[in-house]
Amino acid sequence: MKRFFLTLAVAGLSLGTHATTRVAQDNLTQQSSSINEADSVAMHDRIGSIEVVAMRAGDSSPVAHTNLSRKEVERNSYGTDIPTLLSLSPSLIATNETGIGIGGTSIRLRGTDATRINVTLNGVPLNNPDSHSTYWYDTPDLISAVEDVQIQRGAGLLTNGTGAFGGAINMTTAAPATSFGGSASFSYGSYNTNKQAIHIGSGLMGGHWTVDARLTHIGSDGYIERGATDLKSYMFQGGYYGGNTSVKLLSFGGKAKTYLTYTGVTKEEMSLYGRRYHTEGQYETSHGPYLLADGTHVDYYDDQTDNYLQINNQLIVNHRFNNHWQMSATGFYTYGYGYYKQYKADRTLLEYINLGVTDSSLEADMIRHKIMKNHTFGANASVHYTADRVAVAFGGSWSHYSCPHWGEIEWVDGMERSEVAGRWYDNDVRKQDANLFAKASWLPVKGLTLSADLQYRIVSYRAWGVNDNFDWNRMQMQPIAIDKLYHFLNPHLGVNYAFARHHNIFASFAIANKEPTRADFTDRYMFSQDDGEPLPERLFDYELGYRFDAERVAIGLNLYYMQYRNQLIPTGMVNDSSDALNVNVPDSYRCGVELMAEWDITKWLTVNGDLTLSRNKIRGYVDLLADSPTYGKNLGTMTIAYSPECIASLGFDFHIKGFEALLRTRYVSKQYFTNNQVEALSLDGYCVTNLDLGYTLPLAESRSMRLGLCIYNLFNAKYCSNGYGYSYMWDGVRYDEAYYFPQAPLHALANISINF
């Protein structure tokens, strides 16, 4: 097996990868014309023009996509996480645990959660190889260093990392400036939300060298009580830029400390204690300094936190051989170390094997640590050829991931420190992920583009040891013994036709495959009656689109039908870390229509909006959740959990001279937590309006100062952006338990940014 992976890795590096150069930034079709000498001079003048980026869709690509420019990125870089920016695109929802867009944030695209959305930066995957999620606060203030973002919906173009089952997000870092300069940014707002950032760049030294650095701190008390966030980050990039060659070293990351707020709050608790209440770190004590509305005395463990250090490194090499051939290669290494610190009340001591307790009736309060340390390294490479009517790219990638998980107990009420030594669980993970791909694009006649992609991906996933779950059926800690090898073949075919100057239509078909996550393997026993294992998922994606793009009006229409085989869908339940528990369903689909429009009414006023109407269904859904009141029943066609039927937004952009005002309203319809369509386990629809005010004051020698004010939830809506829930039977009585994440009412964040 090792020899096979080594062979595949070498082949991949010799052939190339999904990454390509900014010269090829649009798509294979747009690259088909030769690069003339004037293009070469322009590229040399702007040193960032040959930086590595993930394969992008262009105007003539048969892919539904949205581009967010540097200007749009800067408007949303006051201090909130990247999901706030991403929510500007169609069919995408951003969620947040602390209530203000900082800390525990995530996204869903076309109803699909973050574990099925492929995220890359400069062509390097950001998804955790084990959980498949992207934890945005592990790379604090990454948004300030991003040049632009492309969100691809559906299977999208083939990229590195986990499969794109809802879409792909491709980001590129900003290129270093050619002259010395920098910026400083300061923000402050509601709930003590604050940001301090400084950036400085050397400019082009000696005609070839650049150095660029950024330091940032972001903090907030959070809307949710004790939902504090403390994020420190850095970014460094140094590069050499020659006429046809560039070499760039990029290092970024930081240290995050966030109070745990992932348990949510019930409607009853909100009515008793307010919308900011949650129970993490809370314990009852007769001498507690805090008195709840029901008369209970409580106190809180101050260090109920998630602590994580992550360092990302990328070495990027680009070379253009001539007007037709170019290549790029990227080596990367990511180090991560983190732990939870948790106060747990009335825990059954038998569940912790290092304590040596055999009596199942013994309970005690405790403080425990759940720890992980991971290493991810690998390489991407690509070769690209363009001619007058043909463009071809081929390449590959390889990555290796290792991560031990273990747990330690710091304190147990009534026990000495020496009695709680050792680990109560200990397991390890190894994952290798490699792929080869080929892409081709052909213009047989003017306006008509035919394209084809083919990716072969192989994944080896091994996990072993003892998990943190105690299996009461077996009266032992849950053993882990996973050894899987997956082979996936992912084709993508498309046609695009541009006609009558402003009109463009496209159609595409793609097949995507994806392996289960770690939690899909380890947590099945919590809800399943059998000892089976999760199955890999398969997507058949059909897309049809139309675009009209004139000088002052742009309109887009996408129709999609996404047919799934063995889709892993959320059950509404979560594990001990509040990760969603998923179950395979044999037959399901997502279909819908996406409308986008933008109109420059005048030089100083633009109106834009988008609308997604969808159906997300399971055919012949059989409830296989062991404790469910409807266990074993065929419920017929049911709505997939966390899949709203309507997402809409409307925006007004007023801009004159240095002043701009953006008013944006977003509506998300009702969502169910489970697949049984239980009203008690649902999230109400909500509508939120934000106002962004800014004024840019030009200073001498191309310097500037921008004053900004973001007013969030302008009309003070009381809403929740996310939640979870489940049903169960106890002594013949049905119980429906639902937990929510309330969002902050009207609040504001002010910013001053100076470019020098």
DSSP 427-476: EEEEEEEEEEEEEEEEEEETTEEEEEEEEEEEEEEEEEEEEEEEETTTTE
Query: H/E element holding 106?
Result: strand 105-109
Total Cβ atoms within 10 A of residue 559: 15
Query: In the structure encoding, which two tokens stand for residue 473, read together?
Result: 């059926």
The secondary structure of residue 267, as a DSSP letter, is H
Question: What is the structure's pLDDT at 159?
Answer: 67
- The pLDDT value recorded for residue 526 is 77
CA distances from 306 to 135, 227, 379, 673 (A): 12, 11, 30, 25
Beta bridge mates, 458: 434, 487
Task: Please report the pLDDT score of residue 486 as a whole number.
Answer: 97
Q: Which residues pair with 712 in a beta bridge?
A: 747
Among 83, 80, 134, 53, residue whose Cα is nearest residue 666: 83
Tokens of 195: 């940001």
3-class secondary structure, 274? coil
Q: Is the pTM of this model over 0.85?
A: yes
Q: Which residues pair with 460 in a beta bridge?
A: 432, 485
Q: How many CA atoms lie within 13 A of 233 on its CB side?
A: 32
Longest dimension (CA), the chain: 82
Report mean pLDDT in 10-residue bins for the chain, 756 residues: 38 36 36 34 40 59 90 87 92 95 93 93 93 91 91 82 84 88 96 97 93 96 96 95 92 96 94 94 90 90 96 96 94 97 94 92 95 97 93 94 97 94 96 95 94 95 94 87 96 95 95 94 81 92 96 96 96 80 95 97 97 98 90 95 98 96 98 96 97 94 91 97 93 93 98 94
Q: Which amino acid is at 680?
A: A
Q: What is the pLDDT at residue 576?
A: 74
Rounded distance between C-alpha atoms, residue 216 and residue 142, angstroms: 10
Distance from C-alpha of 559 to C-alpha of 539, rounded to nearest angstrom: 16
As given in the structure block, the two tokens for residue 402 are 């290792």
Q: Which amino acid is at 75?
A: R
Residue 421 φ then ψ, to 5°: -70, 160
Strands (E), 448-551: 448-471, 476-499, 503-514, 537-549
| Distance separating alpha carbons of residues 390 and 351, to the nearest angstrom | 63
CATH class of this structure's domain 2-755: mainly beta
Q: CA-based angle 427:372:375, to the nearest 5?
A: 95
How many angstroms separate the CA atoms of 174 and 550, rounded?
29
142: its two tokens: 């990454």
- What single DSSP character describes residue 42? H
Q: Where are the alpha helices (DSSP H) in 76-219?
A: 82-86
* pLDDT for the residue numbered 55: 59
For residues 500 and 519, what is the distance between their CA atoms, to the nearest angstrom? 51
Q: Name the DSSP letter for residue 79.
A: S
